[in-house]
Amino acid sequence: MQEKPLILVTNDDGITAPGIRALIKIMNKIGDVVVVAPDSPQSGMGHAITVDNVLTCNPITIDEGPQLEYTCSGTPADCVKMAVSEILNKKPDLCVSGINHGSNSSINVIYSGTMSAAIEAGIEGIPAIGFSLLDFKWHADFRACEDFVKKITLNTLLNGLPEGIVLNVNIPSVKKEELKGIKICRQAMGFWKETFDKRKSPFGKEYYWLSGEFVNKDKGQDTDVYALENNYISVVPVQFDLTAHHMIQKLNSWEL
């Protein structure tokens, strides 16, 4: 009998978020599941790790199921580190992060705790996927994308990923019959035009709320933003080597 793959599940919305509960159910159909996820929401944490405080990581039972679950006081990247170093007795065959409540397409990948967990797994040499649904609502409906999440996961387990590469998967928030399929894409060249809403507390102290508007400068039809706008699931291979290799030769021509 073939041994089931060991799958690590994590996220950045917290261990009780509906997105990770949906992902756990899907992964239970594929392999043996261990969950290590934050005990509170960690959205927008990027690749932050805990260096100035203690970490706790405790077993917990939330839903009935065969999965083993642990709640961690740290960031998404902490969760993966903790799982690999302290909880699992072997390296998992796959790490999946999400399903995130909200988009991680384009430049959002830089800020994303969901994708940073996947990237941390990639750094550890573990094939990894970050899944996101373009719906910020807590009670978002994840049922429409279940078959696609399963299909992408099974293909990743079958084919593997090159060292240093993880997958960033974003799913439009539409009905199942409106999903047109999967597109392999590049990251759109977009950015956030940010503003700060300045306010005063009842005690007269100034404080700020960050807000902004996403600006997509990229009109290419091969981008994740274009795919999502046209009801396709976008799959972007992401590398965490940030070297601008094309710039090395030019820098060598400088009088440094």
170 vs 50, higher pLDDT: 170
Q: Which CATH architecture has domain 6-187+220-250?
A: 3-Layer(aba) Sandwich (3.40)
Structural domain boundaries of the chain? 6-187+220-250
Peptide bond into 99 cis (omega under 30): yes
What are the two backbone dihedrals, phi and then psi, of residue 234, each rounded to the nearest 5 degrees?
-100, 135
User: pLDDT by residue (tens digit) across 103-130?
Assistant: 999 888 999 999 999 999 999 999 999 9
pLDDT of amino acid 216? 82
User: pLDDT by residue (tens digit) across 191-233?
Assistant: 778 888 889 999 989 998 887 887 788 888 999 999 999 999 9
**Stretch 82-109: mean pLDDT:** 94
CB atoms within 10 A of CB 237: 14
pLDDT of amino acid 212? 80
CB atoms within 10 A of CB 45: 21
pLDDT of amino acid 190? 82
**Stretch 63-72: mean pLDDT:** 93
Q: Tell me the pLDDT of the chain averaged across its residues.
A: 93
Size of the chain in residues? 256
**Stretch 81-101: mean pLDDT:** 95
pLDDT of amino acid 42? 85
pLDDT of amino acid 1? 55
pLDDT of amino acid 196? 86
What is this structure's pTM?
0.93
